[in-house]
Amino acid sequence: MTKDLIAMLLAGGMGSRLNILVSKRAKPALPFGAIYRIIDFTLSNIANSHIDVVGVLTQYKPLSLMEHLDGGRPWDLFGRTRLVEILPPKTGEEISDWYKGTSDAIYQNIGFIDDFGPELVLIVSGDHIYSMDYNELITFHREHQAEATICLVRVPPEDVQHFGIAETDGKGRINSWIEKPKSSKSNLASMGVYLFNRSRLVEMLNRAARSGGTDFARDIIPPLLKRKRVFGYVFNGYWRDVGTIQAYWQTNMDMLQPDSGLDVKNWNIKTNLAAKGEVGDRPSTYIARASSVANSLIARGCVIQGKVSNSVLSPGVSVGKGAEIIDSIIFHDTTIGARSLVQSSIIDKLVNVGSSARIGVGESLPNKRFPKHLAKGISIIGKGATVASGISVGKNCIIMPDAQLVSAKHKIVRSGSTI
């Protein structure tokens, strides 16, 4: 089976800045927007662009991600001519067998690419929230007779330090590239979306491998710019890198703002609703007469007996009588006890919050162990944890997965604490 174009989806990153939210799952498998996973957005872009062969490169804790993908069926990427292939590292007993970086991951799977003999190879990341018709990128690439095209998006000047930054000439050709500069005249940041002529990609991957190179931004793009036709395709739609807790929280909140640009309904985003723990055969959500819900996204199977405002609740969340959820994200099958308060928090799956507990209260002090991860007031509660009745948890706190806050010594968890 030959194809003009195939996609390679990088989905093996650890996402360490998301802290305990990715301690038991790969970053692309992180729940988003009540019923989705982060990877759904890139996979839906691929399916909506009628690209029907996808290699998904996994590595870090891939089991829930693999279950969610279900061979591509939810995206209609399954059949005689359609394929989603999981491509884990060909690991032996040596850690050196693991993918060492983005370009190394593609290099180790040149054989998969060659099996289809494509003219073009689309390389995408599974950890961004956006909607894009890749056919527009393909047209741009061919019209400019490019050998490689990098998708670029404008970011605020203060954010250039987090991205690879390109400068382009009047025709869109990239003439300089700086990786994560402290400051830059340009604010055109790489989206982590690349389109390559296969022959040039294979040449550059082999060249990088011989010199020990492992990363696209560092080891593929700079030498390519010196002598080849590399262009920048500027994307003007909504795009967010949800690699930090603050960015992840804010992007979920964008789903509640009609003018944010994040429009899942019209983007035609698909997901696996039948996977274990997802929507499946859950009953309709029950909202009690005495409760209230304002500007929130509530999935099926929830029971709401308290107040929910400006929040995102995944399937099976229970909110007790008199409880209040404000500016928060609650994952699947978590229980919030009666008269409890949860504000500016992210609570993972299967968490049990007892009655009259308070989470996300007090002064905002940076987390002592992870000040770069949590400093703007958001607290996170790990999967399977218990916060017993009457316990108070401050701001910028981390409660580890399966932690049991049930004793008197945890009656007050001060802001910035990690337990």
Q: What is the CATH number of domain 5-267?
A: 3.90.550.10
Alpha carbon 268 to its chain's center: 17
CB proximity list for 394: less than 8 A, separation 6 or greater: 360, 361, 362, 363, 365, 379, 413, 414, 415, 416, 417
Q: How far apart are CA 146 and CA 34, in angstroms?
A: 40
Q: What is the CATH number of domain 286-413?
A: 2.160.10.10
Q: Is 285 exposed, middle or buried (0-12, 13-18, 19+ CB in 10 A)?
A: middle
**Half-sphere exposure in the Cβ direction for 326 (13 Å, CA):** 11
pLDDT of residue 96: 53
Same fold flag, 5-267 and 286-413: no
Torsions phi, psi of 240, nearest 5?
-135, 135
User: Which DSSP symbol is given to 220?
Assistant: I
Would you mind telling me the total number of residues written for the chain in this entry? 419
pLDDT digits (tens, 9 = 90+) for 188-213: 999 999 999 999 999 999 988 888 87
Q: How far apart are CA 29 and CA 233, in angstroms?
A: 28
Tokens of residue 80, six digits: 């005689």
238 within 8 A of 251, measured Cβ to Cβ: no
What letter represents residue 230's amino acid? V
pLDDT digits (tens, 9 = 90+) for 145-203: 999 999 999 999 888 888 889 999 888 899 888 888 888 888 999 999 999 999 999 99
Nearest to 8 by CA among 158, 154, 175, 196: 196
pLDDT digits (tens, 9 = 90+) for 19-54: 999 988 888 999 999 999 999 999 999 999 999 999
Q: How far apart are CA 150 and CA 225, in angstroms?
A: 11
Sketch the domain layout of the chain as residue ranges. 5-267, 286-413
For the chain, percent of residues with pLDDT exceeding 90? 67
pLDDT digits (tens, 9 = 90+) for 261-300: 999 989 999 999 887 767 777 899 999 999 999 999 999 9
Question: Regarding predicted confidence, which is higher, 92 or 280?
Answer: 280
Going from the C-alpha of 396 to that of each of 183, 289, 325, 384, 413, the distances in angstroms are 29, 34, 17, 19, 11
| pLDDT of residue 216 exceeding 90 | no
| pLDDT of residue 93 exceeding 50 | no
Q: How far apart are CA 65 and CA 141, in angstroms?
A: 31
Tokens of residue 150, six digits: 């990098």
Nearest to 363 by CA among 321, 397, 338: 397
Tokens of residue 411, six digits: 């009656």
CB proximity list for 163: less than 8 A, separation 6 or greater: 155, 180, 189, 190, 241
pLDDT digits (tens, 9 = 90+) for 330-367: 999 999 999 999 999 999 999 999 999 999 999 999 99
pLDDT digits (tens, 9 = 90+) for 218-272: 888 888 887 778 999 999 999 999 989 999 999 999 999 999 999 998 999 999 9
| pLDDT of residue 95 exceeding 80 | no
Alpha carbon 314 to its chain's center: 16
Question: Regarding predicted confidence, which is higher, 416 or 273?
Answer: 416
pLDDT of residue 91: 55
Nearest to 98 by CA among 226, 200, 214: 214
Average of per-residue pLDDT values in the chain? 91
pLDDT of residue 223: 85
